[in-house]
Amino acid sequence: MASPTVTTGAGFSVVAVAASLGLDPAAIFWSFVGASLGMSFAPPSGRLRAAVVFVCATLVSSLFGISLAAYLHTDGHVAQNVYSCVFSIFLHPLILAVVNAAPQVVQGVLKKIGLGSS
């Protein structure tokens, strides 16, 4: 089990990286909530793939939510949180479905051009 010092350091590191990318910690939190809700709509997959897609969906949807709120509203902290959550609910299952289908799509393209196994 990780010590509280390591866990706290990891948490501060994540917030520091997110802040350097221009992401608001509140938007990341609401994206996390949305991705958690979106997991119920996602197709089944392995643990590692699901974890990587979860993190990607959380970060991308918080970026989309912040960008849309900045585009549509002048001062919209509530709006960016709502947009981040809603984007994450829909992006998590969508990204996971695309990632799960990618190997079959690549194999089909390779077979079509004559490079895949028959």
- The Cα 75–Cα 79 span in angstroms is 9
Whether pLDDT at 104 is above 80: yes
Give tens-digit pLDDT for 60-79: 888 888 888 888 876 678 88
pTM tops 0.75: no
The SS3 of residue 40 is helix
Residue 34 vs residues 92, 101, 103: alpha-carbon distances, Å: 8, 23, 27
